[in-house]
Amino acid sequence: MAERIYFLGIGGTLMGNLAILAKQAGYDVRGSDQKIYPPMSDQLAAAQIPTEEGFEQAHLEPPPDVVVIGNANLPRGAESLEFILDADIPYMSGAEWLGRNVLAGRHVFAVAGTHGKTTTTGMLTWILEHARKQPGFLVGGAPLNFGTSARLGSSKYFVVEADEYDTSYFDRQAKFMHYRPRTLLINNIEFDHADIYNDLVAIQFQFHHLIRTVPRSGRIIAPWGMRAIDEVLEQGIWTPLSYTSVDPTSKELEASKNVDFWHAKTIASDGSHFDLFHNRRKIGALHWRHYGHHNVSNALQAIAAAREAGVSIRESLDALSSFEGVKRRMEVLAKKGELTVYDDFAHHPTAILTTLQGLRNRVGQEHILAVVEPRSHTMQMGTHREPLTTCCSPADDVIWFKGDNVDMDLDTLAENNIVPSEVMDDHTELADKICKPVKRPSHVVLMSNGGFGGIYDMVRKRLL
């Protein structure tokens, strides 16, 4: 009989995908959550995984062989949690279960960093798939080249989005500490997750512990000249290191002569065409559908990492030319006449800035309206108050949306913003405003890391 696993908090992106992986591996899988929304509810149903709403004790009877507990609202006192402890049912966090049961013994590619993880994970996975490496993967979004966010795979390779957030109420270390990567990609390190980390130093502490887990036969890939990452590397590194850079200066090229160095020289200002160099020698070029220097940087990381699996440069570039992207990363939501509306999963001022700058470089002087719902924990706590006043600088206008879960003072933020700004709090009025016919090419970017009160369906209905 298959081992019975119960996922407590199965509606979350990580936990739902872990449940799918467990089902693929032959486990008897069930789970529950307070509410389970699409697309995860649809994916779980497609995988034929039974789910229940709520955290009642009855859901766990008869007791499963093991319970995987997610980082949801499951404090001590929750009925199901107290039953697990009283009945001495074996339990672990989702990240621990993944590390023990899926990643152990495999060549793990872990993609870490404050932002860009999901896109880079999707790029690297698609390169390996295109090169017939048949990787397993777990992506914290929906990569459009695949029909799922998670797959066991049939080779030794596994690509995982490696998050620095803690794992559960009883395991406060970063999730990525359970993954034991052989190839580690670090996109960037900035202060985030102010609800669990006091400052940037606390986050750097976690990243250096991750570096300590990478074997000397592995590889670490990091951007050149990023102070927060350099400070981590200076604490000690025992693994070969490769650097990446987009449009490095002549001085930076000279300084990089003694390291393994990958760089891109953008031919098109929006990053849709660039030449690829390795150790200052041109080795290829890429024309692709994506834009923004941040995506070029993501591509460099993925190309350098894929080499660790024996993928040639030509194979990597061919794969990226057909990379479709990830849902909610500048995904075109609707288009009508001269108006284009995008959906972007924005959660950090730097990500907002780089995304909007990429669009500006692509569309030139055409009008850009940024609509931002600042709902992340760190934004809510005011940590990013100053960067938020400037991060929308590539846009012409900004609407700051005050949803039910936004507690910060948006009126003051709008007054201090360097871009003409207004505050709105009604989804219907917002949809009406952004969907008005325009006489010149215009771009509206909806930026939120949540459901945005159903605004996406409202926009589609008005424009399609």
pLDDT value of position 43 = 86
Per the CB < 8 A criterion, the answer to whether 207 and 234 are in contact is no
pLDDT value of position 260 = 97
Domain ranges of the chain: 4-95, 105-321, 331-463
CATH architecture designation of domain 331-463: Alpha-Beta Complex (3.90)
Q: What angle do CA 212, 216, 221 make, to 5 degrees?
A: 75
CATH, domain range 4-95: 3.40.50.720
Backbone phi and psi for residue 112, each to the nearest 5 degrees, phi listed first = -120, 165
Per the CB < 8 A criterion, the answer to whether 96 and 173 are in contact is no
pLDDT value of position 380 = 60
- In order of 114, 257, 346, the CA distances from 330 in angstroms are 18, 36, 10
Tokens of 129: 């798939």
Query: Quick check: do 4-95 and 331-463 share a fold?
Result: no
Tokens of 290: 């994506």
- In order of 116, 169, 418, the CA distances from 140 in angstroms are 11, 21, 33
Q: Is the pTM of this model over 0.75?
A: yes
Phi-psi region of 271 (alpha: psi -120 to 50; beta: other; left: phi over 0): left
Q: What angle do CA 53, 56, 60 make, to 5 degrees?
A: 100
Please state at what angle helix 117-130 crosses helix 313-321, rounded to 10 degrees. 120
Q: Which residues contact 219 (CB under 8 A, 6 or more apart)?
A: 182, 183, 184, 239, 240, 241, 242, 305, 308
pLDDT value of position 140 = 86
Judged by DSSP in three states, 433 sits in helix
pLDDT value of position 77 = 84
pLDDT value of position 253 = 94
pLDDT value of position 386 = 79
Q: Which residues contact 442 (CB under 8 A, 6 or more apart)?
A: 338, 339, 340, 366, 367, 368, 369
Half-sphere exposure of 341 (CA within 13 A, CB side): 26
CATH, domain range 105-321: 3.40.1190.10
pLDDT value of position 387 = 82
User: How many other C-beta atoms lie within 10 A of the C-beta of residue 198?
Assistant: 9
pLDDT value of position 95 = 94
Half-sphere exposure of 23 (CA within 13 A, CB side): 21
pLDDT value of position 327 = 84
pLDDT value of position 58 = 94
* CA-based nearest residue to 127, from 386, 388, 303, 365: 303
pLDDT value of position 57 = 93
Instruction: Using 70 as the pLDDT threshold, list the residues of the chain that sit under it.
Output: 1, 73, 194, 376-384
Q: What is the DSSP string of 35-84?
A: ---TTHHHHHHHTT--EEES--GGGG-SPPSEEEE-SSS--TT-HHHHHH
